[in-house]
Amino acid sequence: MLQARLVVKGSQHLKEIVDDGKGSMRGELRIGIIPTLAPYLLPLFLKKMKGVNKNLHLTFEELQTEVMVERIRSHSLDLGIVVTPIDDLNIANHVLFYEPFLGYFAKGHPLLNKKFIDEKDLSADDVLLLNEGHCFRAQSLSLCRNRKQILSSDKTFSFESGSLETLKKLVDQGESFTLLPWLATYDVADKKRLRPFSDPVPTREVSLIHGPHFQRKALLKALIENIKRNLPDGVSSNRDKNQLKINNPLGNIK
């Protein structure tokens, strides 16, 4: 049965390659995307992509980086949208954009007195973080190196979440601060509680990845162009000289 399924899958794959060579955007495309990007990036391009490619069925799944890479290796995913680099010679990546980090603070937080924040200002004891397994958690911790408490020595609350939206709401309720990628700040109501970093600005590199089995080059190009074309001001497909790329700590996946 397994062999039969592989034969059927192989023949479908061949048909998709032929269609791709003719410039026809049809068939199914399975794409993974990390949770810190999905709710903010997909609305920017998905509707427009579907509008011009009505014969293309897109399936997106929110997955953490390690799971996504394994799914690409096993051919159960075609593409992934992740933070790179990924240290795997069999995983190709195409940079989509560079996304700066910002600090988001509760009302009255001392760091709101500053126009720009620095790494040395941030305490790992006070920051609200994502759960283990999220690359943005590890990147945030790499920036919050100061172990000295900012607010007080009596910490009565700590929380880890799988959602940036939960962390934002906790900060809105007066709980210290969190770090956010730029796209996650796009709909923040009180932007006066956001603080940019001083130069060099910590920034993450977001890329589209795939394995050696993915050969639909025309479709890949169309997807990359569609995403880049719909990026808002604040993120760029080219890294600024004043940005410091924070590598994906989970990118060294075996």
The pLDDT profile of the chain, 254 residues, written as one tens digit per residue, is 444 444 445 444 434 544 554 455 668 899 999 999 999 999 999 888 876 777 888 999 999 999 999 999 999 999 999 999 998 889 999 999 999 999 999 999 999 999 999 999 998 888 898 887 788 888 888 888 664 444 444 455 566 677 899 999 999 999 899 999 999 999 999 999 999 999 999 999 999 999 998 999 999 999 999 999 999 999 999 999 999 999 876 655 55
Q: What angle do the packed helices 217-229 and 2-21 form, to 10 degrees? A: 70
Cβ-Cβ contacts under 8 Å for 33 (sequence gap 6 or more): 41, 42, 60, 61, 62, 63, 80, 81, 82
Burial class of residue 187 in the structure, from the number of CB atoms within 10 Å of its CB (0-12 exposed, 13-18 middle, 19+ buried)? exposed
What whole-number distance in Å separates Cα of residue 6 and Cα of residue 239? Answer: 41
pLDDT of residue 142: 86
pLDDT of residue 126: 85
pLDDT of residue 6: 46
pLDDT of residue 72: 96
Identify the CA nearest to 84 among candidates 97, 73, 71. Answer: 97
Domains identified in the chain and CATH numbers: 2-98+202-245 (3.40.190.10), 100-201 (3.40.190.10)
pLDDT of residue 252: 59
pTM for this entry: 0.84
